[in-house]
Structure 1
Amino acid sequence: MADLFGQDAPGGPRDHAPAAPEDSGAPLADRLRPRTLAEVVGQEHLTGPEGAIGRMVAAGRLASMILWGPPGTGKTSIARLLAEAVGMRYAAISAVFSGVADLKQAFAEAETMAKAGKRTLLFVDEIHRFNRAQQDGFLPFVERGTVTLVGATTENPSFALNAALLSRAQVLVLNRLDEAALEALLAKAEALEGPLPLDPQARAALIAQADGDGRFLLGQAETLYAARLEGALDPAGLGAFLQRRVAVYDKDRDGHYNLISALHKSVRGSDPQAALYWLARMLVAGEEPLFLARRLVRMAVEDIGLADPQALPQCMAAMEAYRFLGSPEGELALVQACLYLATAPKSNAAYVAQKTAWKAAKETGSLAPPANILNAPTKLMKDLGYGAGYTYDHEAADGFSGDNYWPEGMEPAQFYAPVERGFEREIRKRLDYWDMLRAERG
């Protein structure tokens, strides 16, 4: 099925005409493809007037970009609509099905069109699946402007893509679709096909089950329409019909948020017994285990952080173990992670540091680094004072120079304040020691 309202690119390069209403035999997601960027739901932080994409479209020029986000969030649709919005030719390939020959063909066609005065937006789906050499092959064509590259990936670009390619493209992060965005998709489907055969509780369960994936949600809705059911299903009936567990809570959709809040606060409060109870309540009710795995990861970085640096690896390992084993065996890995977090020393120092540092970064704008830590690869830059006075810490006494690393016009600030618990107690000792050395050498 297409990406959220978008076309797949199963083979080599292919051009696409502007979207048009689809016939009734096409998949529901295809028939509901947005025809403008304003119709793409859930990504207004990018497509709105103040978003990166909105600003590019307003200026009439696109930079190469990497669209990073979960499945079913509209990456393909955005790429196609971007080309239409600025009058570019749209070509698409998939890294899953394409090879070097397809890339050469795509670039050759783009060069031909460029000579005719038509710029090409080349959309590369699953771009992280190209190997390093193939990714390097994009560089000269991106640098010359032969193509404007729009890559789509579900993997972290920092690990999945070459640094050289990343330096030539802007990474834009797509949000997992929230409840409001998923509800908007169902409303569009119902405007086309009529009301879904679900009671309010089952409707909420269907949205929760989609877990941010719009394509999955519309696929499930299409299955329900095709069955031509008599009457409305409740959550139990929906689960039986779809042959998937669906979450069933006592208080409609509020139960989903109330129970995850109870789990999070029990972990934060270091009560492993209560945390395990709320985890069990959610799993027994049919909550999506990977949703819980993601929330455990969030707890590890928000409420434990460097007080126990193993908390995050434990949660990531639990998530991979669940993916490998599935239910019910994999749920034991989630139990282990939950108990590890609840019994770990707690600190939100990293969380507080992030908030404070982000605020300072926004307030200080474009202050340049001090000259002593500027890179000086050329003689001209050295003559201008770049790197002057820099001390190589490994050659300094105690392996610590105490140099100034703050921009001119900004006083050194303290964002991170480790607590006297867990491993952060040791970090606190290190910071105090370095502060003492700075004072002695100041």
Structure 2
Amino acid sequence: MSDLFGKQDEALHPHYADIMENAPLAEKLRPHKLDQIIGQGHLTGAKGAINLMVKKGQLSSIILWGPPGTGKTSIARLIAAEAGYYLIALSAIFSGVADLKKAFADARKLSASGKKILMFVDEIHRFNRAQQDAFLPVVEQGTVTLIGATTENPSFELNAALLSRMQVLTLNRLRHDDLDSIISHAEKSQNTPLPINEQARKWLIDQADGDARFLINQIETIFNICEQNDDENGIIFDLPALSSLLQRRAAIYDKKGDGHYNLISALHKSLRGSDADAALYWMARMLVAGEDPIYVLRRLVRFASEDIGLADPQALTQCLAALQSYQLLGSPEGELAIVQACLYCATAPKSNAAYVAQKNAWKLAAETGSLSPPASILNAPTKMMKEMGYGAGYEYDHDSEHGFSGANYWPDGIERRALYQPVSRGYERKVQEHMAYWEKLRAQKNHISS
């Protein structure tokens, strides 16, 4: 028996030992106390929010938010057990309106009989707005204490009304040491070491990607294969043998979910921070997980304008060329062009002057309405328009001594505004010099005119 179980568990059923002997490994390793939860000590430890609530006997409705296989379901069940609550468990994937009505009716009957009810809803984010709203009365009236589990960001996926009545507790992705501890528990449960060498053990943990459930399933597969094949007894699997034996875990990545936005944010900020290696890593994470390369390229094109701009005008050209190359070659050949564009953007001088200039210009345009341009720069295609002064006094810049007339191009009532202010990096340093030169000529002209 695993050391995760207490003695009281063996008295739960007269044939408990036989049942557990044939139970799946995940059930054998399921913790039976909150302090046996691995990797979530910040919640279930002595000073953790969950432990303190249970000790005081004052449960609040909570959302358990975390990656798959981090113990959300186990924590909810143990909270009910240790706090003395009657547990009603639902899954948003398999439950509809009828199931909710029945659960609420059962909860009211049990509550009326004096029982304290904990309602656990797995994947709560999968309920629609109306279904989520249905929980409000039973939570507000104190009929149930609600615990919802979700892998998605609650602030995006849950109704504000429901979320405002619940406390969000975040579960950590399990670390290497946490997963290694689970392997040790599994070995004790089976009374035998896992037949893999150290390199294979590390690979097994890496493949789990923080998911205890996936790791336990893989461990069970290894034990079962060794049990079914007597010729394998005594053989220690190395990395090549183990990797060919087991399925590789697909990266956890929802192209419309929170992880998608987290990774694209990490890519964008790594590019902005000129960390080429980090940018390449986050981009690889997205593409390996199945992100559409065209989406990544669109983000790179945007980055070239937003964060590089005229500091290196070639960045936009590089990104557009990468887009064209990928459309021509496809995967995997075209992905090298994406890498080239990513590295170019990461190593290019940075400036958001064009981005800021756009914001400034849009804001000023909205504030100033429909002011007319100066008459001198209006076209005068008809005689009447010429008689009205359209185009009168226009100075053709190419005829000026420096190719610069210094004329006024702003509407009456608005003084010149410095909407675009180039930085002293990359090509924008040259742009800065040009603009300073023109400003000097403009000032000289104004001085002579005055």
Seen in structure 2, the aligned counterparts of structure 1 residues 245 and 95 have a Cα distance that, compared at 3 Å, is: closer
The aligned runs of 1:114-153 (5 Å cut-off) are 114-153=111-150
Tell me whether 1:210 sits opposite 2:208 in the alignment. Answer: yes
The residue aligned with 1:239 is 243
RMSD: 4.5
Whichever residue aligns with residue 209 of structure 1, its letter is Q
Seen in structure 2, the aligned counterparts of structure 1 residues 234 and 37 have a Cα distance that, compared at 3 Å, is: same
Q: CA deviation at 1:48?
A: 1.1
Q: CA deviation at 1:421?
A: 8.9
Tell me whether 1:93 sits opposite 2:93 in the alignment. Answer: no
Conserved? CA contact 1:75–1:152, under 8 Å: yes
Q: CA deviation at 1:30?
A: 1.1
Q: CA deviation at 1:292?
A: 12
The residue aligned with 1:195 is 193
Tell me whether 1:110 sits opposite 2:114 in the alignment. Answer: no
Seen in structure 2, the aligned counterparts of structure 1 residues 342 and 25 have a Cα distance that, compared at 3 Å, is: farther
Whichever residue aligns with residue 108 of structure 1, its letter is A
Matches of 2:200 and 2:240, distance apart in 1? 8
Specify the SS of the correspondent of 1:133.
helix
Matches of 1:105 and 1:345, distance apart in 2? 62
The residue aligned with 2:68 is 71
Q: CA deviation at 1:201?
A: 0.5
Seen in structure 2, the aligned counterparts of structure 1 residues 220 and 341 have a Cα distance that, compared at 3 Å, is: farther
The residue aligned with 1:386 is none
Specify the SS of the correspondent of 1:149.
strand
User: 1:365-403 deviations in whole A, cap 9, x for unaligned?
Assistant: xxxxxxxxxxxxxxxxxxxxxxxxxxxxx9xxx89xxxx
User: 1:161-197 deviations in whole A, cap 9, x for unaligned?
Assistant: 0000000000111111011110111111000112111
Matches of 1:98 and 1:148, distance apart in 2? 19
Q: CA deviation at 1:238?
A: 1.1
The aligned runs of 1:7-86 (5 Å cut-off) are 22-86=19-83
User: 1:116-140 deviations in whole A, cap 9, x for unaligned?
Assistant: 1101100001101110000000000
Specify the SS of the correspondent of 1:61.
coil
Conserved? CA contact 2:308–2:348, under 8 Å: no
Specify the SS of the correspondent of 1:104.
helix
Unaligned runs of 5+ in 1: 6-16, 247-262, 311-326, 348-393, 400-419, 426-442
Specify the SS of the correspondent of 1:183.
helix
Tell me whether 1:339 sits opposite 2:337 in the alignment. Answer: no
User: 1:239-279 deviations in whole A, cap 9, x for unaligned?
Assistant: 11114389xxxxxxxxxxxxxxxx9xx9798474x679989
Matches of 1:158 and 1:114, distance apart in 2? 30
Conserved? CA contact 2:65–2:149, under 8 Å: yes
Specify the SS of the correspondent of 1:171.
strand
Seen in structure 2, the aligned counterparts of structure 1 residues 98 and 207 have a Cα distance that, compared at 3 Å, is: same
Matches of 2:213 and 2:55, distance apart in 1? 28
Conserved? CA contact 1:63–1:148, under 8 Å: yes
Matches of 1:421 and 1:214, distance apart in 2? 51
Matches of 2:53 and 2:224, distance apart in 1? 41
Conserved? CA contact 2:203–2:239, under 8 Å: yes
Q: CA deviation at 1:346?
A: 7.1
Conserved? CA contact 2:280–2:343, under 8 Å: no
Specify the SS of the correspondent of 1:121.
strand
Unaligned runs of 5+ in 2: 5-10, 227-231, 251-266, 310-330, 352-362, 369-422, 429-450
Instruction: Please identify the structure whose Cα radius of gyration is greater.
Output: 2
Matches of 2:332 and 2:187, distance apart in 1? 35
Seen in structure 2, the aligned counterparts of structure 1 residues 117 and 328 have a Cα distance that, compared at 3 Å, is: farther
Matches of 1:309 and 1:18, distance apart in 2? 66
User: 1:70-124 deviations in whole A, cap 9, x for unaligned?
Assistant: 1100000000000011100011010100011111111111111111110110000
What is the TM-score normalised by the length of structure 2? 0.56
Seen in structure 2, the aligned counterparts of structure 1 residues 24 and 345 have a Cα distance that, compared at 3 Å, is: farther
Conserved? CA contact 1:36–1:81, under 8 Å: yes
Matches of 1:146 and 1:341, distance apart in 2? 56
What is the TM-score normalised by the length of structure 1? 0.57
User: 1:293-314 deviations in whole A, cap 9, x for unaligned?
Assistant: 9xxx9xx9xxx9x98499xxxx
**Percent same amino acid at aligned positions?**
56
Aligned residues: 295
Matches of 2:344 and 2:26, distance apart in 1? 41
Matches of 1:112 and 1:309, distance apart in 2? 64
Tell me whether 1:222 sits opposite 2:226 in the alignment. Answer: no
Matches of 1:175 and 1:36, distance apart in 2? 19
Matches of 1:209 and 1:271, distance apart in 2? 26
Seen in structure 2, the aligned counterparts of structure 1 residues 192 and 144 have a Cα distance that, compared at 3 Å, is: same
Matches of 1:88 and 1:421, distance apart in 2? 65
Q: CA deviation at 1:339?
A: 3.5
Specify the SS of the correspondent of 2:173.
coil
Matches of 2:30 and 2:424, distance apart in 1? 52
Conserved? CA contact 1:96–1:129, under 8 Å: yes
Seen in structure 2, the aligned counterparts of structure 1 residues 97 and 278 have a Cα distance that, compared at 3 Å, is: closer
The aligned runs of 1:289-304 (5 Å cut-off) are 289-290=288-289
Specify the SS of the correspondent of 1:30.
helix
The residue aligned with 2:404 is none
